[in-house]
Amino acid sequence: MKRDKLIFNLIEKELDRQETGIELIASENFASKQVMEVAGSVLTNKYAEGLPGKRYYGGCEVIDEIETIAIDRAKQLFNASWVNVQPHAGAQANVAVFLALLQPGDKILGFDLSHGGHLTHGSPVNFSGKYFKPFFYGVDRQTGLVDYKKLEAVALKEKPKLIICGASAYSRDWDYQFIRQVADQIGALVLADISHPAGLISRGLLNDPLPYCHIVTTTTHKTLRGPRGGMIMIGQDFENTLGLKTPKGDLRMISSVLDSAVFPGTQGGPLEHIIAAKAVAFGEALSEDYMKYIIRVKQNAAMMAKAFVDLGYQIISGGTDNHLMLIDLRNKNISGKAAEVALGKAGITVNKNMVPFDDKSPFVTSGFRVGTAAITTRGLKEKHMEKIVGLIDEVIMHPEDEAHLKKVHKKVNEMMEKYPLYK
């Protein structure tokens, strides 16, 4: 077969972009070489609808072993009693949970997208807001912290069937125990979507939702540093105690309802090459090296937050407990969109982001979000954080000065040259 030069050349170009720039998108990371090798393996050729030992296709003996290892390692990593590693993405994991737990029109309560939540937690432009009746809580205007009083008040008033916690742009830890207490008062279930901080949670650096939340979903490619994908988990207390009534009135274990909601409910064939790569990434996440890495992710984020504050930037909630922070640019006379474009020209990749109570549209925004998962994988340490924030500040102060942006770009390239990505 003739090599597809067009695509391979573009991949080279993308590798160069990744290698020479400073990657601060909080949801991105650099998977290891072995994770990528496995994701590009012959396993992509295999259909394996069903679960290990219960497939709808022949020839799944090897696949079964691989998927079982992925499940076992995920259980060990999160101290879960049940895991489904098949969701193609975090959004697909949430789709399956909604299908399993809810009927169309049921009320749900999630964290407002414009305060840092996620599309799949009830946004009107997403299935979760179209097929279910969403209510929201957000952050307190003064503190930037989750307004748990509002969460409780809305929950008690509206009695949603499902309360969702977790976020895409919230830099503080969550009080899962409190949310569970609220849910218990109204007989609601709690879903924690830990897509962002999963790696920190897995190694005990943040509160653990599994003892309190009935179901936990995550992606595998953010702080967990695996291949792009999702998964669903249940903690030790729930698998054998929590049942759901079928339309016929029979009681089914929640894990079995969730398995069916993934396949055949919402997905076809599982991506076994990605599941194998998840297994590899979970193995890595259980290692001492990963432990050192994820501690450093958190230290780097704290240092980065301090450097921003020192230069007069407003971080929502004033700092960070995890790997990310949301910066409000309203005192800097530049929009999130303009900042993203200017930083991009200087080789620094961020994403524009709504800030709580934003008066600009999601296409313009008043802020941007940064995270340290990817740069920490590159080997950057606390001492680099002040330097990076200094470079960001140079750009924000001169967003239209192309010559200056070029100078910053050169400094960015020089910094990253010392930290090769895939040697």
219 assigned to active site: yes
Identify the active-site residue in 19, 28, 49, 382: 49
422 assigned to active site: no
Q: CB 244 → ligand DSN: shortest distance, Å?
A: 27
Nearest to ligand DSN of 255, 365 (CB atom) = 365
49 assigned to active site: yes
Q: Which of residues 148-207 bind ligand DSN (CB under 6 A)?
A: 168
x/- site string to ligand DSN, residues 40 to 79, per CB under 6 A? ----------------------------------------
Distances (CA, A) of 167 to 139, 164, 201, 284: 11, 9, 14, 25
Tokens of 220: 């595998």
228 assigned to active site: yes
Nearest to ligand DSN of 118, 384 (CB atom) = 118
d(CA 109, CA 131): 14
Identify the active-site residue in 225, 228, 298, 332: 228
Q: Does 320 bind ligand DSN (CB under 6 A)?
A: no
x/- site string to ligand DSN, residues 100 to 119, per CB under 6 A? ------------------x-
Number of chain positions touching ligand DSN (CB under 6 A): 4
47 assigned to active site: yes
**Contacting residues for 128 by C-beta, under 8 A, at least 6 apart:** 94, 98, 108, 110, 119, 120, 121, 122, 134
Identify the active-site residue in 217, 218, 219, 376: 219
d(CA 334, CA 329): 6
Q: CB 89 → ligand DSN: shortest distance, Å?
A: 8
Q: Does 317 bind ligand DSN (CB under 6 A)?
A: no
Q: Does 27 bind ligand DSN (CB under 6 A)?
A: yes
Q: CB 79 → ligand DSN: shortest distance, Å?
A: 25
Nearest to ligand DSN of 55, 323 (CB atom) = 323
Q: CB 28 → ligand DSN: shortest distance, Å?
A: 8
Q: Which residues bind ligand DSN (CB under 6 A)?
A: 27, 90, 118, 168
Residues involved in catalysis: 47, 49, 193, 219, 222, 228
